[in-house]
Each structure stands twice: as C-alpha cells, then as structure tokens.
C-alpha cells in the first residue's frame, strides 16, 4: 500500500511538471508578439500576477518558513525566472504607456516582497506563525494569478472573440489547479487547497467561454483576412491604372 507521503510526493512531482507547462504555455503568444513586433491588445496583468505569486510561494517554501516544501520551492523558483523573461519581452514590444505600467507593477512587487520578508523574519519567530502569515498572503496572490485573466475574459465577452485568450493557458491552468488541490488534500494544507480550488473554477469558466466563442472568433479572423485581401487587390488595381496613365502620358 502506498504511504501518504509517497502519494503526496508523486502528486507533487506531477504538479511540478504541469506547473512548468503552465508557466511555458504563453510561449506561442510571445512568439506571435515577437513576429509582429507588438503586444497589440495583450495585457501584462497575467504575467505580473504570476510573478508576485511565484515570489511569495518561493518565500513560503523556504525551510525557515515552511519546512519540507521542496516541491513548492523548486517550481515557483523556476516560475520566477520564466515570468521575468516574459515581462522583459512584453516591455520591449510595448508602447510607452504600457512600459510605464509594467515598470510600476514590478516596482510595487519588489517593494512589497522585500517588506514582507523583513517583517516576517523579524517579527514571527516560529514556523507555525511564519507559515500562517505567508500562507494567507499566498492564498490572496494565488487567487489573483488565477483571476488575472478576468481582464481578458471581459474583452472576450465584449468582442465575442477568444483571439487574445490563449486556449493552452486556460487548459493548463485548469489541470494545474486540480493537481495541486489533490496534493493539498492528501496531507491537508488549506493554503494550497483554497487558491488552487478557486483557480480550477476560474480556468473552467475560461474554457467554457472558449467553447462558446470559438466559432465566432474563427469567423471574425476570416472576415478580417478577407477584407485585407480585398484591400490588397484594390491597391494593385489602382497602382496598375496609375502605371497605365504614366505610360500613356505625352
């Protein structure tokens, strides 16, 4: 019979793998941004929210705060590196207004985490106290990370298009939330269970929206391409007429 600890370790390793896919799921989006040279209507909110989430969870996983949380520490440490890479790319391909928002967001996050670390390590003197304080904060930021696509979901409802809500990110978020909820239930940890349970619900709503507006999105993209093709054809015709006039001029 598999022990509780072995089962928790197995689910935790699976959770690490799925979380890594979650962190990497925006790669196709950033490939498009790179090719187009612009972030267009994409929002930096999901990446900033994920970064602050990884920062506080990395702090939670440290031995001085919550011992025996190596799997929490490893995946969130990796997440910090990946999200910083996304934010740098977002900054490069943004306009001035969005760059200021990104810089302001990063500054606020760095100040917040620095103050949190200093206060917790100074004022809380036991693992129980530190885990409680940091755990509550982790719940808040984890929910923020999962809820950050709500900004994009509003755009989906307004435009009836899921073009700017990547399917891979929504699907991986859903599976990730379920996996870490299972991990938290095996050896009850409310600080991991609550945000991941909420995250699974948010991701499920995104998947439902994707199913509802997938066909209308395809139709809008096709219509846009059709109009672009017509404009290109019209331009060729106009240029051809201008060439004839120039050729027949005395």
Residue 250 within any structural domain of the chain: no
Residue 246 within any structural domain of the chain: no
Confidence (pLDDT) at 246: 45
Confidence (pLDDT) at 249: 45
Residue 234 within any structural domain of the chain: no
Task: Say which range, 56-60, 93-97, 217-221, has the weakest mean pLDDT.
Answer: 217-221
Section 227-247 average pLDDT = 53
Residue 236 within any structural domain of the chain: no
Residue 83 within any structural domain of the chain: yes
Residue 32 within any structural domain of the chain: yes
Residue 239 within any structural domain of the chain: no
How many separate domains does the chain show? Answer: 1
Q: For residue 6, give the H/E element and its range.
A: helix 4-24
Rounded Cα–Cα distance for residues 88 and 82 (Å)? 10
Q: How far apart are the first and last CA of the chain?
A: 97
Domain range for 114 is: 4-215
Q: Between 105 and 1, where is the model more confident? A: 105
Residue partners of 209: CB distance under 8 A and separation at least 6: 153, 156, 157, 162, 165
């Amino acid at each position: 019979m598999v022990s509780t600890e072995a089962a928790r370790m197995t689910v935790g390793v699976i959770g690490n793998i799925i979380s890594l896919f979650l962190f990497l799921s925006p790669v196709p989006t950033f490939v498009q941004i790179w090719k187009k040279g612009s972030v267009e209507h994409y929002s930096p909110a999901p990446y900033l929210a994920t970064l602050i989430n990884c920062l506080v969870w990395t702090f939670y996983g440290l031995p001085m705060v919550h011992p025996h949380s190596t799997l929490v520490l490893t995946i969130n440490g990796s997440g910090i590196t990946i999200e910083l890479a996304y934010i740098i790319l977002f900054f490069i391909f943004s306009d001035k207004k969005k760059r200021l928002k990104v810089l302001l967001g990063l500054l606020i996050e760095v100040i917040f985490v620095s103050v949190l670390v200093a206060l917790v390590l100074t004022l809380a003197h036991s693992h129980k106290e530190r885990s409680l304080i940091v755990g509550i904060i982790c719940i808040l930021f984890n929910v923020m990370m999962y809820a950050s696509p709500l900004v994009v979901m509003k755009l989906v409802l307004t435009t009836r298009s899921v073009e700017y809500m990547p399917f891979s990110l929504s699907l991986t978020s859903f599976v990730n939330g379920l996996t870490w909820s299972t991990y938290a239930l095996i050896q009850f940890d409310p600080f991991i269970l609550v945000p991941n349970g909420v995250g699974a619900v948010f991701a499920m709503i995104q998947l439902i929206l994707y199913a509802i507006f997938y066909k209308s999105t395809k139709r809008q993209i096709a219509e846009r391409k059709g109009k672009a093709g017509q404009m290109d054809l019209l331009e060729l015709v106009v240029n051809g007429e201008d060439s004839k006039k120039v050729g027949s001029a005395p």
